[in-house]
Structure 1
Amino acid sequence: MSTSHVLVIGIDGTRLDFLESEPTPHIERVIGEGFLAPVRIEDGTPDVSGPCWATIATGTTVDRHNIRSNDLEGHRLAEHPDFLTVLSRDFGLRTYLAVGSWPPLATTDSHGPVFARPSRVTFAEFEQNAEGCDDGDETVTRDAERILATEEVDAAFVYLGVIDACGHEHGCGDQYRAALHRTDFRIGRLLAAVAARPDRATEAWTFILVTDHGHILDGGHGGGSDAERTAWIAAAGPGIEGGADYGTLRHVDVAAHVYAALGVDARVVLDGKAFASVV
């Protein structure tokens, strides 16, 4: 039984400046034990979910995975698979995907899925609006709580989408802030589930929180402004120095760090590298 485990939480459409100014005690706990670093979406990568989540999942740039919009048609994910698929297929590890509000991550909707072959999937489809995404996030959080607390999971990706949905519907105002607070609470429940595992004392867990893109204040993204193209990564775990300066990271670094944290030599092309502090 492996003692190394990774939980990646994807938090869609969360502006870095709002994260830094709003009270988010559970996210702040991860940051306090590790780091928060900005991500600049790379030139040539549209600041929309499809390309950004594919880059995060595969550790490769758009020139390799070829996802350039929220329609994944023409993708090259067979050549550049996601980290959950690689871990389950090539190493026999137990992987888990939980998605409640953006179907292409987990289903064939829009020529998906981004995550092709995880060992286990929780998918709950709701209306693609703020209320539906909130319901979806709550549904998958409940299921992920149970699985993370009681079952063997080596690597997991849990997607939470209500913040982005609120940005689109209402702009980045009070409802956007409230969605950030609800999401932080759900993240706290996921962290508590890991803490409640029977063998937690002997397990080494890495936690990675990542957003795909930002928003303009009036709501929306894809226009190329700094507010839209600024994302972020927060992480804590073995080998991550708390409070260190990790500079500006890249989305492609997430998959590379997942493999490094689990101690596997993934025989796939990677454009990123495991997180390292700036000396």
Structure 2
Amino acid sequence: MKKNFLALIFLAVSLISSNVLFAQTKVKKTLFVIVDGISSDSKEKIATPNLDAIAKIGGYTRAYVGGGKDTYSQTPTISAVGYNSLLTGTWVNKHNVWDNDIKDPNYNYWTLFRFFESQYPQKKTAIFSTWLDNRTKLVGEGLPQTEKLRLDYSFDGFELDTAHFPHDKTAQYIHNIDEKVVNEAAAYIQEQAPDMSWLYLEYTDDMGHRYGDSEQFHKAIQMMDDQMGRIWKAISYREKTFNEDWLMVLTTDHGRSPKDGKGHGGQSDRERGTWIVTNAKNLNASFKNTPGIVDIMPTVARHMNMNIPKGQAFEIDGVPFTGKVSATKLNAVKTGNKIALTWQSVDKEGKAKIWLSIKNNFKTGSQDLYYLMDEVEVANEKAEIDISKYPSGFYKIVLEAKYNNANYWVVEK
């Protein structure tokens, strides 16, 4: 009897341990989505039940693009520029994509795909896109500058197929391509579940350009929401059926012009005003503090357990909006031989190291020399460093804290 009792205890402990292990070893997956050209005020005017369902699990917040307004990082509110800010976690002063021509991207600032493929070559990546340049120019697939990076699956380039998608004056062909891309993404995710994927849809921006703030544009937003419902259904199936932990992040690349909604590219609040929807459950305080599009990159990297080398991590402008974060909103002001630093502390534990470089060798693929200027309590939210020994017209400052880094440049004209 005693042996049977002990056997039952052993069996119960084994089952509990197995369940705990099962819960702890869920396979992490990510899908990030860019739906083009929907300002935050436009999105909030239209019923989006599918986006709302995702946000109910995680959250919705207003966000921004455009970098630091009137600073060294001010970034055009243009499509490809925004895409690359998401992919690299940096503003235009670093990634160097200034417009949709994508003339000379600085591939020294790695994209999510390059980090992921480099660290996890055995895992699977995918892109589903209504614009071919996202893969060939921004991600830089097959280019020597990206060490001939290869994604595992791509579904794009249909805008060049005028036989099947003849270009009509109302841009209906773009909607048709979006539909094809979405349906493939939903099916592929449900069946193959790539580890990290990017979905891009264009039609909403086309309607904004053609009709501005209009019934056509609003209808396009409703169509987009329906499309996201199909994607969410596939992800929900994977989570319920398999041992997978999915992060889904949806955003837009820019807002719309304040006058009539037909344009974008400038620095008005409406052109800079975007939004983020996610199913992430462990959102931190910075999520509700108007995150930037650059914050998506480190959030994805954190979810996917990417280990970003220190020199590259120092360059990332974004801050994760999930999990613990030490400091955000770093700012620096130079007066004479002093630079005054301020930041917002979130998780206030631990100290922060203040690093200074007076060169930007990283831009050309070399390493920067950093000087350790001070170490302070992150909760102080301010510090002052003496730069009298480092005469320069350029200062790159990094706050290295327990849970994240923040960086800021001082550029003297």
Give the TM-score, by structure 1 length: 0.89
Match of 1:17 among 27, 33, 41: 41
Partner of 1:104: 133
**220-229 or 195-204: which moved more?**
195-204
Q: Could you tell me which runs of 5 or more consecutive residues in structure 1 were left unpaired when the two chains were aligned.
A: none
- Please give the alpha-carbon distance, in whole angstroms, between the structure 2 residues aligned to 1:95 and 1:263: 15
- Please give the alpha-carbon distance, in whole angstroms, between the structure 1 residues aligned to 2:235 and 2:322: 25
- Please give the alpha-carbon distance, in whole angstroms, between the structure 1 residues aligned to 2:85 and 2:239: 34
CA contact (8 A) 1:38 1:248 kept: yes
Q: Give 3-state SS (helix, strand or coil) of 1:207's partner.
A: strand
Partner of 1:275: 321
Match of 1:114 among 139, 159, 171: 139
Q: Give 3-state SS (helix, strand or coil) of 2:321's partner.
A: coil
- Please give the alpha-carbon distance, in whole angstroms, between the structure 2 residues aligned to 1:218 and 1:97: 29
Partner of 1:31: 55
Structure 1 residue 146 and structure 2 residue 187: aligned?
A: yes
Structure 1 residue 52 and structure 2 residue 90: aligned?
A: no
- Please give the alpha-carbon distance, in whole angstroms, between the structure 2 residues aligned to 1:185 and 1:115: 31
> Following TM superposition, by how much is the alpha carbon of 1:115 offset from its aligned partner in structure 2, in angstroms?
5.4
Listed one character per residue, the Cα deviations across residues 20-42 of structure 1 (whole Å, up to 9, x for unaligned) are 12111111112222222222322
- Please give the alpha-carbon distance, in whole angstroms, between the structure 1 residues aligned to 2:275 and 2:177: 23
Q: Give 3-state SS (helix, strand or coil) of 2:210's partner.
A: helix
Structure 2 letter corresponding to 1:263: N
CA contact (8 A) 2:54 2:278 kept: yes
Structure 1 residue 184 and structure 2 residue 225: aligned?
A: yes
Match of 2:270 among 220, 227, 247: 227
- Please give the alpha-carbon distance, in whole angstroms, between the structure 2 residues aligned to 1:130 and 1:215: 19
Partner of 1:6: 30
CA contact (8 A) 2:26 2:245 kept: no
CA contact (8 A) 2:82 2:254 kept: yes
Give the direction of change, closer, same or farther, for the CA distance of 1:123–1:247 in structure 2 (3 Å limit).
Answer: same
Q: Give 3-state SS (helix, strand or coil) of 1:113's partner.
A: helix
CA contact (8 A) 1:205 1:238 kept: no
**158-167 or 127-136: which moved more?**
127-136
Q: Could you tell me which runs of 5 or more consecutive residues in structure 2 were left unpaired when the two chains were aligned.
A: 1-24, 142-149, 160-166, 324-345, 348-413
- Greater RCO (CA < 8 Å, at least 6 residues apart): 1
> Following TM superposition, by how much is the alpha carbon of 1:199 offset from its aligned partner in structure 2, in angstroms?
6.3
- Please give the alpha-carbon distance, in whole angstroms, between the structure 2 residues aligned to 1:130 and 1:99: 16
1:161-172 to 2 correspondence within 5 Å?
161-172=202-213
- Output the aligned Cα RMSD: 2.3
- Please give the alpha-carbon distance, in whole angstroms, between the structure 2 residues aligned to 1:61 and 1:218: 24
Partner of 2:116: 87
CA contact (8 A) 1:204 1:238 kept: no
1:121-132 to 2 correspondence within 5 Å?
121-126=154-159, 127=167, 130-132=171-173
Listed one character per residue, the Cα deviations across residues 64-89 of structure 1 (whole Å, up to 9, x for unaligned) are 11111111112112x11211232123
Structure 1 letter corresponding to 2:109: H
Give the TM-score, by structure 2 length: 0.62
- Please give the alpha-carbon distance, in whole angstroms, between the structure 1 residues aligned to 2:193 and 2:42: 35
Give the direction of change, closer, same or farther, for the CA distance of 1:249–1:96 in structure 2 (3 Å limit).
Answer: same
> Following TM superposition, by how much is the alpha carbon of 1:178 offset from its aligned partner in structure 2, in angstroms?
0.6
Highest CA radius of gyration, 1 or 2?
2
CA contact (8 A) 1:246 1:276 kept: no
- Please give the alpha-carbon distance, in whole angstroms, between the structure 2 residues aligned to 1:120 and 1:86: 17
CA contact (8 A) 2:239 2:245 kept: no
> Following TM superposition, by how much is the alpha carbon of 1:121 offset from its aligned partner in structure 2, in angstroms?
0.8
Give the direction of change, closer, same or farther, for the CA distance of 1:250–1:69 in structure 2 (3 Å limit).
Answer: same
Higher strand residue share: 2
